[in-house]
């Protein structure tokens, strides 16, 4: 730890380029090379001048193709300090996917459950931040308090709120939507330290690295807190009914813990196309993912709807005449 | 795998007599200014009191990648462009680290607005039936009641980047923004090794003013999304910025001139060196626009004629 940010009192972490909350740049210790505007680096293999190669993301020699050094990020990439253990074994995950495939709705192919072939089933602990913070929250909303001719009247206010254990996805392996759907179902109180002895019978799983700095994930953190704030400010809105709630948060004193959350990543094949589903690592009934659509069914429904609409239109016209 | 840097020396600085850009580089050959293709490009000593960049965003694609983006861009802009433009040739493309300032602040804003809340009413109106008799009917109409609202908005303004370049003005940089700030690195000479770097040629004070204007505009955008109700009007606000920071940084751009005819002036194109977003002024073909306008008018006239004939 390098001490708190002077602007918002958020504790800074080693490697933060800027404060994770307010983006105040973190100054680096003075280094003698800081005054050099351009340096020419020479390859120690063939002595040719080396340039930064965007493809290699590192300085690379154009003559002998040596990558001079894999760019040492000034920001260290962190790994999770805590992990939530797996509670769903492999067999249960397979069964969950089969059940999920059988309940994909009317427009899914009828044979999906039986004909889908499971390609891979990988246990993975995906990366997330657990955030605690205080915030000044400015809000606006419509409510029935003070309404006149319209059922709604506008209101605004500012509240001081504290947020605890807000889970913010930091994964690149899962897409944001998948992560958002899985997040509410984790029991974070069961988290254990990474490296602590495993629970007997627990599935060993790969832990995803954090490839984004906490400071670089400011938008995700802000969005997650604002989504929670919209629910929390409901207590401050006068009246019995409300709508159109907007919240603007100014976070202060944010602390984060890096956590790895368990999930089964499943790829399945249906008639030559590959699809993906994710089974929650603690709740076997929570499965998210994508599945094929039976376009023949869609066409039939569209056709029937068109015929019904045409019949109704004809009926209206005939009655008018 | 190679080893570490074994030799370090300073780059050569040039200045453009046409656009005023000052550029530092070595290991790169050019006899013309990368920004304006002017041959009035002379060596000079490095400018004094240059700020040390604090951050840099590395290039994410090489020249071949930038060429491919430009080819796609040309292909998507040939409908109203001059016919020769689709055969435009890229002339001397250069990757340049552009000097810029990164601004952040705390913004406290007091606002007032009129918030429109919709409601419905049933009203009577007079109509004429098929036999020509006048009769009264009712219908539901939506009306808006405006209510005053005032309040406070708070938040951090971050990631505002303004150009400190003489060769590339801020509005042109804005057209290729945003940059993915997650890829931003603390400045290290190895990041810009082998690339052209422009010197900071706009004063920090001027960049601070420009950043503040962008920050207030950004607050305005947030406020427009912050308003409740079904609509709003007369939104006005006063923003007080505190805790401002302005840090020098380098952002990657590819700059080139597109030549599409011997008699025609080249078109300057700027490519975001990280995302591939492009800006450039496409030469328009006025006869193509004229034909399109005439065709549009003819189509409207035809539809009107058919509708009239149908009655």
> Do B291 and B172 belong together in one domain?
no
Please list, in sequence order, all residues whose beta carbon lies within 8 angstroms of the beta carbon of residue B209, skipping any fewer than 6 positions away.
none
- Res A35: pLDDT: 42
Q: Which residues of A touch B147 (CB under 8 A)?
A: 148, 153-154
The region of weakest confidence among A137-146, A295-304, B100-109, B180-189 is B180-189
Condensed to tens digits (0 to 9), the pLDDT of residues A7-58 reads 888 888 777 788 878 888 887 653 434 443 444 555 555 555 555 666 666 6
User: Do the domain assignments include residue B161?
Assistant: yes
Which 79-138 residues of chain B touch chain A by CB within 8 A? 102, 104, 106, 115, 117-119
Mean confidence (pLDDT) of chain A = 82
> Do B298 and B250 belong together in one domain?
no
> Do B216 and B296 belong together in one domain?
no
Mean pLDDT, chain B cut into blocks of 10 residues (311 residues total): 38 69 63 67 67 91 90 83 82 88 96 96 87 87 96 94 90 92 84 84 92 95 96 96 94 89 83 93 86 94 83 53
Measured in degrees and rounded to the nearest 5, phi and psi for residue B71 equal -60, -40
Mutation site, A32, A36, A44, A54, interface B, largest B CB count within 10 A: A54
- Res B205: pLDDT: 93
Q: How far apart are CA B136 and CA B170, in angstroms?
A: 62
- Res A207: pLDDT: 82
- Res A199: pLDDT: 67
A285 band by pLDDT with thresholds 50, 70 and 90? very high
Please indicate if any CB of chain B lies within 8 Å of the CB of A94.
no
Q: Which residues of B touch A149 (CB under 8 A)?
A: 119, 143, 145
> Do B273 and B304 belong together in one domain?
no
Number of domains in chain B: 2
| Confidence check: pLDDT of A300 > 50 | yes
Which of B104, B188, B243 is opposite residue A74, by nearest beta carbon? B188
- Res B256: pLDDT: 87
pLDDT, greater one: B134 or A76: B134
- Res B56: pLDDT: 92
Count how many pairs of residues, chain A against chain B, have C-beta atoms within 8 Å: 214
User: Do the domain assignments include residue B140?
Assistant: no
> Do B65 and B169 belong together in one domain?
yes
Mutation site, B193, B225, B241, interface A, largest A CB count within 10 A: B193
Contact B3 A156 (CB under 8 A): no
Which of B58, B65, B115 is opposite residue A52, by nearest beta carbon? B58
Judge contact between A136 and A250, C-beta under 8 A: yes
User: Do the domain assignments include residue B119?
Assistant: no
Closest among A97, A84, A283, A289 to A202, alpha carbons compared: A84
Q: How far apart are CA B148 and CA B221, in angstroms?
A: 20
User: Do the domain assignments include residue B233?
Assistant: yes
- Res A211: pLDDT: 61
- Percent of chain A scoring above 90 in pLDDT: 37
Which 235-274 residues of chain A touch chain B by CB within 8 A? 244-246, 248-250
**A61: number of Cβ within 10 Å:** 22
User: Do the domain assignments include residue B208?
Assistant: yes
Please indicate if any CB of chain B lies within 8 Å of the CB of A67.
yes
Please indicate if any CB of chain B lies within 8 Å of the CB of A320.
no
User: Do the domain assignments include residue B303?
Assistant: yes
- Res B168: pLDDT: 87
> Do B240 and B299 belong together in one domain?
no
> Do B183 and B290 belong together in one domain?
no
Q: Which residues of B touch A150 (CB under 8 A)?
A: 117-119, 144-145
Please indicate if any CB of chain A lies within 8 Å of the CB of B227.
yes
> Do B305 and B272 belong together in one domain?
no
> Do B218 and B300 belong together in one domain?
no
> Do B239 and B94 belong together in one domain?
yes
> Do B228 and B291 belong together in one domain?
no
User: Do the domain assignments include residue B135?
Assistant: no
* Domain limits for position B31: 12-114+146-280
Condensed to tens digits (0 to 9), the pLDDT of residues A207-263 reads 887 765 666 667 778 888 888 999 999 999 999 999 999 999 999 888 888 898 999
pLDDT, greater one: B24 or A87: A87
Contact B155 A149 (CB under 8 A): no
Residue of chain A whose Cα is closest to the Cα of B62:
A54
Host H or E run for residue A223? helix A218-232
- Res A75: pLDDT: 46
> Do B245 and B275 belong together in one domain?
yes
User: Do the domain assignments include residue B261?
Assistant: yes
């Amino acid at each position: 730890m390098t001490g708190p940010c002077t602007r918002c009192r958020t504790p800074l972490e080693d490697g933060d380029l800027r404060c994770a909350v307010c983006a105040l740049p973190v100054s680096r210790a003075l280094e003698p090379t800081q005054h050099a505007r351009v340096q020419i680096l020479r390859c120690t293999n063939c002595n040719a001048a080396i340039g930064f190669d965007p493809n290699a993301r590192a300085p690379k020699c154009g003559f002998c193709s040596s990558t001079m050094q894999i760019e040492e990020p000034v920001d260290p990439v962190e790994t999770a300090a805590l992990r939530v253990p797996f509670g769903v074994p492999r067999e249960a995950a397979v069964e969950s996917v089969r059940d999920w495939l059988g309940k994909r709705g009317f427009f899914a192919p009828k044979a999906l459950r039986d004909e889908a072939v499971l390609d891979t089933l990988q246990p993975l602990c995906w990366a997330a931040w657990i955030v605690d913070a205080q915030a000044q929250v400015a809000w606006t909303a419509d409510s029935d308090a003070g309404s006149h001719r319209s059922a709604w009247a506008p209101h605004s206010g500012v509240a001081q709120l504290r947020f605890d254990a807000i889970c913010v996805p930091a994964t690149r392996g899962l897409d944001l939507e998948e992560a958002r759907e899985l997040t509410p179902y984790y029991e974070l109180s069961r988290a254990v330290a990474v490296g602590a002895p495993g629970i007997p019978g627990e599935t060993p799983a790969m832990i995803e690295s954090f490839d984004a700095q906490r400071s670089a994930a400011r938008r995700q953190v802000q969005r997650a807190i604002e989504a929670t704030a919209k629910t929390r400010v409901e207590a401050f809105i006068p009246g019995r009914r409300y709508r159109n709630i907007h919240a603007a948060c100014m976070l202060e004193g944010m602390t984060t813990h890096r956590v790895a959350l368990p999930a089964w990543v499943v790829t399945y094949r249906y008639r030559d196309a590959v699809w993906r589903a994710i089974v929650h690592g603690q709740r076997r009934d929570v499965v998210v993912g994508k599945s094929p659509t039976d376009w023949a069914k869609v066409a039939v429904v569209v056709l029937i709807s068109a015929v019904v609409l045409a019949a109704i239109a004809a009926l209206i016209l005939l009655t008018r005449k | 795998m190679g080893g570490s840097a074994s030799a370090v020396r300073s780059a050569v600085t040039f200045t453009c007599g046409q656009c005023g850009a000052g550029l530092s580089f070595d290991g790169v050959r050019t006899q013309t200014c990368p920004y304006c293709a002017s041959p009035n490009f002379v060596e000079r000593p490095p400018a004094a009191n240059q700020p040390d960049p604090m951050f840099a965003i590395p290039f994410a694609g090489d020249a071949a990648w930038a060429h491919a983006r430009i080819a796609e861009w040309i292909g998507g802009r040939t409908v109203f462009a001059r016919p020769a433009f689709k055969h435009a040739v890229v002339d001397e493309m250069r990757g340049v680290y552009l000097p810029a300032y990164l601004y952040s602040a705390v913004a406290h804003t007091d606002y007032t607005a009129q918030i429109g809340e919709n409601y419905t009413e049933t009203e009577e109106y007079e109509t004429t039936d098929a036999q020509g008799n006048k009769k009264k009917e009712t219908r539901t109409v939506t009306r808006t009641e405006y209510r005053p609202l005032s309040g406070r908005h708070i938040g951090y303004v971050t990631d505002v980047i303004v150009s400190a370049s003489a060769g590339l003005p801020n509005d042109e940089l804005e057209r290729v923004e945003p940059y993915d700030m997650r890829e931003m690195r603390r400045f290290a000479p190895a990041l810009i090794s082998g690339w052209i770097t422009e010197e900071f040629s706009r004063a920090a004070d001027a960049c601070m003013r420009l950043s503040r204007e962008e920050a207030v505009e950004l607050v305005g955008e947030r406020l427009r999304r912050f308003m409740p109700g079904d609509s709003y009007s007369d939104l006005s606000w006063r923003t007080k910025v505190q805790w401002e920071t302005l840090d020098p940084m380098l952002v990657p751009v590819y700059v080139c001139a597109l030549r599409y005819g011997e008699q025609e002036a080249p078109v300057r194109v700027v490519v975001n060196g990280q995302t591939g977003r492009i800006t450039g002024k496409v030469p328009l073909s006025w006869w193509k626009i004229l034909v399109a306008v005439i065709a549009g008018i003819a189509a409207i006239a035809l539809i009107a004629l058919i509708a009239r004939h149908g009655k």
